[in-house]
Amino acid sequence: MNLEAIYNANKEQTLYGRYITNKHIEPLLERLKDVFEVSTEGVSVQQKPIYGIKAGNGNVRIFIWSQMHGNESTTTKAIFDLLNFLKNGDETARVFLDYFTLFILPIVNPDGAELYTRANANEVDLNRDSVNLSQPESVLLRKCFEAFKPHYCFNMHDQRTIFGVGNDPKPATVSFLAPAYNNERDINDVRQKAINVIADMNKTLQNYIPGQVGRFDDSFNINCIGDMFQSLNVPTILFEAGHYENDYEREQTRKFIFFALFSGFKSINENVLVENKIEEYFDIPQNKIVFYDLIYKKVKINYENKEKFTNFASQYREVLFDNSVIFRAFISEIGNLEGKHGHAEIDCNGAEFTSQNGSDFPEIDEKADFLIGKSRKFVNGQEI
């Protein structure tokens, strides 16, 4: 099966980049009303609608939600790519729609999406609110869960560019977790099902991004929604969309999330989940914080009136500007940087550092605008 061709035929072209809000998806929801059931399930703190989409009429129910963190939009794009595939109705799409009923909340946190923040309008992290249920969005998510009575839950997120996998680290382009359901991190039949689906999704992704699939730490936290739903005996899978080389808009990563969703559905549909794939799951390397966006090597600085050679790193901060997300580089660490890697690494060949204000020493949290030597000018972390 040619997943590349399937994805290319169904990619939702109107969704692009990191800034995805209700305004971007509402025209798409209007189109989907002709095929699927589209509803308004409730409202956010700021009274923005939280939409639901029900697709399929099968006996196996899968509950999917995205953007409970408002600035984590990659999986939302992939969900609409998937809905286009299901709507376009080829043989596999018909099989899925006959076997599954999907209930999707594409943007759980529309206030955070519009503000491009992780938290909601009350500055609460919805993924730490599964016990208190202090926020209307958290209450809505739980009510949908209880009403739909899913057989599986897919909890969709983005992860930062700092994560890598493997001993010779590659970026963690996609990561998964079958959350623990207790402090002992035991594996029961419920968690086993989530583990088996992840093992199959990883097997598919290794054909496209070998060595770039990670596994999140499974320490138990009942305040997290995935841990809560796993403890309520519903197999729950955390999806994390991460960095792919030069893909800060996450347009390549959305494709791999689509591949993961497709292969996950296929795995459940073909009922291969009776197998024990614990070993395959734990063979997926655990995420490690090992990356900076930019590392500058062998640069001369003046430290306490002494010349020395060192390395330093810059990291992008995502800033909402004029309804678009821009990436601003700030100096984040200075020193040997042993064990750290850059998504881009620049050899400064021992030339001298000079900041924009004339300092000969990089300062943490300064904008990454500087000179290396007399002729190499860097603006926003990049050489121009």
pLDDT (tens digit per residue) in 333-351: 999 999 999 999 999 999 9
Which domain range does residue 346 map to? 291-383
Query: Domain with 351 in it: what CATH number?
Result: 2.30.40.10
DSSP letters spanning 95-152: HHHHHEEEEEES-S-HHHHHHT-SS-TTS--GGG-TTT--SHHHHHHHHHHHHH--SE
Kindly report the average pLDDT of the chain as a whole number: 96
Same domain membership, residue 265 and residue 143: yes
Mean pLDDT within 312-341:
96
Same domain, 350 and 283: no
Note whether 224 and 299 are same-domain residues. no
Domain boundary among 229, 264, 289: 289
Average pLDDT (246-271) is 96
Same-domain pairing of 253 and 313: no
Whether residue 271 is predicted with pLDDT greater than 80 in this model: the reply is no
Q: Could you tell me if 22 and 127 lie in one domain?
A: yes
Per residue in 83-113, pLDDT (tens digit) is: 999 999 899 999 999 999 999 999 999 999 9
Q: Is the pLDDT of residue 304 over 90?
A: no
Q: Are strands 100-105 and 60-65 parallel, antiparallel or unpaired?
A: parallel
Reported as a single tens digit per residue, the pLDDT across 189-211 is 999 999 999 999 999 999 999 99
Cite the beta strand spans of the chain per DSSP E: 37-43, 49-55, 60-65, 100-105, 152-158, 163-165, 170-171, 174-177, 213-215, 236-241, 288-289, 291-303, 306-321, 324-335, 341-347, 353-355, 370-372, 376-379, 382-383
- Residue for token pair 């596999």: 92
Is it the case that residue 275 has pLDDT exceeding 80?
no
Q: CB–CB of 379/356 below 8 Å?
A: no
Do 176 and 216 contact (CB within 8 A), yes or no? yes
Q: How far apart are CA 223 and CA 227, in angstroms?
A: 7
Alpha helices in 120-250 (DSSP H): 136-148, 189-205, 225-231
Is the domain of 71 the same as that of 158? yes
Q: What is the pLDDT of residue 168?
A: 85
Task: Report percent pLDDT > 90 for the chain.
Answer: 94
Q: Considering 245, 268, 289, which residue would you say is the last residue of a domain?
A: 289
Residue 273: predicted pLDDT: 57
Residues paired with 43 in a beta bridge:
49
Contact 258, 78 (CB under 8 A): yes
The tokens for 16 are 């692009």
Asked if residue 112 and residue 19 are part of one domain, the reply reads: yes
Check whether residue 298 and residue 259 sit in a common domain. no
Same domain for 245 and 321?
no
Average pLDDT score over residue span 354-363: 91
Sequential DSSP letters for 265-289 = HHHHHTTGGGS--HHHHHTSPBPEE
Claim to verify: residue 107 and residue 207 sit in the same structural domain: yes
pLDDT band at 303 (very low <50, low <70, confident <90, very high): confident
Shared domain for 127 and 225, answered yes or no, is yes
Final residue before a domain boundary, out of 289, 317, 343: 289
Q: What is the mean pLDDT of residues 295-314?
A: 93
Q: Looking at residue 272, what is its pLDDT?
A: 60
Q: How confident is the model at residue 149 (pLDDT cuts 50, 70, 90)?
A: very high
Closest CA to 166 of 223, 211, 199, 229: 211
Averaged pLDDT for residues 150-176 = 96
Q: Do 195 and 260 sit in the same domain of this protein?
A: yes
The pLDDT of residue 274: 64
| 329, 367 Cβ separation under 8 angstroms | yes
Query: How confident is the model over 314-333, as a mean pLDDT?
Result: 97
Smallest Cα–Cα separation from 205: which of 213, 216, 194?
213
Answer for the pair 191, 178: CB distance below 8 angstroms, yes or no: yes
CATH number of residue 195's parent domain: 3.40.630.10
Greater pLDDT, 345 or 306: 345
Between CA 227 and CA 190 the distance in angstroms is: 12
Residue 252 scores a pLDDT above 60: yes
* Cβ partners under 8 Å of residue 54, min gap 6: 36, 37, 39, 101, 102, 103, 104
**How many structural domains are present in the chain?**
2
